Chain A
Amino acid sequence: MDPIILYIVACVLVGGVLASLGVHLLPVGGAPAAMATATGVATGTVMLMLGAAMCGLFTAASVATYTSNIWLVALSGAVASWLMMGVTMLLANLLYVFGAGVVPVSGRVDMDPITKESQKEYKTPQCDGHGVPNVSFISGMIGALLGGFGGALMYFALLKYANFEPTMAGVAAMGIFVANAIIAAYNIGGTIEGFQDPKFKRLPKAILTCGIISLLSGVLVWVVANMGGLIL
């Protein structure tokens, strides 16, 4: 068997699973977070992850023009996503603190597992936390790093191994990424605070589902590339 098939399928599989893992780590509060009623960033899971991954894809595409090292391309994409998430969460916190006057606290744990700061007495009653506390911030940064890495890995496999045209590779990588992100979003049901959230324990199911979907996508990419005459 041609090793190129294995490369393509493996990269898409790993990329898809990392995308799913990344989504589970993001602190996403959805609509309630916009009213400071839930902890996390005030937007949908898929939108936030996609925003970060798109930043990663942009940088990965630039880097792929001047290096053909897969790890460097994937890491560049990961760092772009990590910066996007970091700046977004930091400035969201600025708005929470100075615009709405709330203290960032977690609603799911009584004590921040990283900084050991107590959370409970700072929380408004009848709220599920508010703002982006430190533990969620770090969890989100790790999630963006993994998600961006996965997205960039898929892009590189499509570009260099399956010989897609750059824009087409970008669109295809994004499509596979979105499929995995949506599965993960269903699994967490709208809001999650990060790895400290009890919902994070649902991860194995999503990883399995995303693994199967990514595997199918990888095979499909190979079929498209082969039938389209892209792999000679």
Chain B
Amino acid sequence: MYLFIASEIMLFGSFFTAYFFVRIVNGVPWPSPPYHLPVFVATVNTFILMTSSATMHWATTSIKRGNVWGMRAGLLLTFLMGLAFLIAQLYEYMRAGFNTSDGAFPTIFFCLTGLHSCHVFIGLAILAFMTIRAWRGHFTAEHHHGVEIGGIYWHFVDVMWIVVFTTVYIL
């Protein structure tokens, strides 16, 4: 687990280094004119992702208490909200009005948010397997390691979004 965290810190760290270089060291205004960041969509996405973490936690606590239907509902809601996040992110990309070829700002914007979206995509794949397994009755109050591990990954993805959202969109 420590190696996973370290590798993720290094991966995101390299992208954040590029971001801070572009924004602070290089002195490029953020966002560089005439572009605007889609802050509203990102804020809505943040609430969606935070809520999905709450439903993920609900799913885990439910199965720990033996509430199988609570777990199934929690996992399904988490998956749907993760999907909604990803669709909203793609919608945001299409309406952004800039592309990676438009300079350093758009490049690092797409790299950072895209890297996070890749993590969400992987999380969705894990959630899909978890949800299918939950419906097939693979998890019980005693045996639910699959839900626990998937939940840890999902919360980690949300933690990274908070860092990306705060750094790229708000500050």
Chains A and B bind each other: no
Q: Which residues of A contact B (CB under 8 A)?
A: none
Q: Which residues of B contact A (CB under 8 A)?
A: none
